[in-house]
Structure 1
Amino acid sequence: MRIIGGECRGRRLASVGKGDAGAHLRPTADRVRESLFNMLAGGFGDPCRGAVVLDLFAGTGALGLEALSRGAGRATFVENGRVALRLLRDNIGICRVAERTRVVQRDARKLGECPGDAATLVFLDPPYGRQMGEAALEAALAGGWIAEGALIVWEESAGVSAPEGLTLLDERRYGDTVIRIFENG
């Protein structure tokens, strides 16, 4: 697993290894991540440039770190898995972006109020098939974590029920992974 583009291009991220079976660590494959960021750049301008990123169910942080590498201003990673948090912190160090990141050790479904600027680009990669994405997105919207007009990239294997107020802009399948891009508002 590596960063695909931008200032950190080519940096190898910490290996998941055997991971943590209970945490359902499933990093987005390099090829899918590359397709996703090409889709964002090709169809939505340059949403990474200067973005405030929110990476929910961050896992290794690969999506948020890719956005930082491609010009995002800062990123908040929300994760509560022990192994994932270790990998996430290792990867932030590998990419040398600690001053532009914040790690929130919390269940993404219980965010509370946003302590800073609302995100303009959101990555949502919950454990597949457990309807955790819907709850996390509801919590993020209710807590003011997501700005009006923000793009939300939701990775899931099955159908999703997006909260009211989100508009589906694009949907693509990569094997058992479906990437959906929504706009808030």
Structure 2
Amino acid sequence: MKPKKGKGLRIQTGELKGRVIPSPVTPEGKSNFTPAIIKKSLFDILESLQLQGRLNIQDSAFIDLFAGSGQMGIESLSRGFARAVFLELAWDRFESLKGVLEKLGKPHLVMRKDALRFHSGLNIPETSKVYFMDPPYSFWEKKTPKLKTVVDEIIQNEPGTAVIIIQSPEPLQWEDFTSRSFGRNTLNVRILV
């Protein structure tokens, strides 16, 4: 989804459909937003799991490990998730996200934390969770082993039902993940049920 200058990102569907989320830009002047086709596909996957009885969205937490603008977690709230959890390390994005979330009045937790270090021990009471991981694409060049470790630790320590969805520049060849590519973006999915 390409934001129009000064407009921000729009929620695609659900209770908050049409609401605009400010689109923060990094100090380098770069922005990395999840394209609309990826967002739609991700939530189609989750809706399919709900229809199959494998995931109850209304009782689930959506955990955005690299929140940025917060568009994915806010979209999850719009679509009926019980709560969204946002981890964002950059101070300006964290502050912007806090302000946006306070105005929405939806159940959330936003933390100024590094997802690479604080992905576990978040004490999230929902027994069903969706982990979304969309690190900056530059991370994949040098931090792939660390990103894999984060995912492995989530898998090992997750006591309940969980879905792990990773957006990456290329399909991941990780055990039990399935990949769907959309141009320069790929969704990699693993379901722990």
**TM-score normalised by L of structure 1:** 0.80
Match of 1:105 among 100, 108, 112: 112
Match of 2:42 among 24, 36, 41: 36
1:158 equivalent in structure 2: 170
Say what the alpha-carbon RMSD is for the aligned residues. 2.5
**TM-score normalised by L of structure 2:** 0.77
Counterpart of 2:50 in structure 1: which amino acid? Answer: G
Unmatched tracts of structure 2, length 5 or more: 1-8
Unmatched tracts of structure 1, length 5 or more: none
Whole-angstrom distance in 2 between the partners of 1:119 and 1:147: 9
User: Once the two structures are superposed, what CA deviation does each residue of 1:138-183 show, in whole Å capped at 9, x if it has no partner?
Assistant: 45446x4x44331111101124364xxx632x42112211011111
Whole-angstrom distance in 2 between the partners of 1:174 and 1:125: 15
Question: Do structure 1's residue 9 and structure 2's residue 21 form an aligned pair?
Answer: no
2:147 equivalent in structure 1: 133
Aligned residue pairs: how many?
Answer: 174
Whole-angstrom distance in 2 between the partners of 1:68 and 1:57: 17
Q: CA deviation at 1:13?
A: 0.7
Whole-angstrom distance in 1 between the partners of 2:169 and 2:155: 22
After the TM superposition, which residues 1-185 of structure 1 pair with which residues of structure 2 at under 5 Å, given as runs?
1-16=9-24, 18-21=25-28, 25-41=31-47, 43-45=48-50, 47=55, 48-97=57-106, 100-111=107-118, 112-117=120-125, 120-128=129-137, 129-130=140-141, 131=144, 133-141=147-155, 144=157, 146-160=158-172, 162=174, 167-168=176-177, 170-184=178-192
| Helix, strand or coil at the partner of 2:148 | helix
Q: CA deviation at 1:52?
A: 1.4
Identity of aligned residues (%): 24
Counterpart of 2:112 in structure 1: which amino acid? Answer: Q
Aligned in 2, Cα 1:154/1:115: closer, same or farther, shift over 3 Å? same
**8 A contact 2:171–2:181 mirrored in 1:** no
**8 A contact 1:11–1:95 mirrored in 2:** no
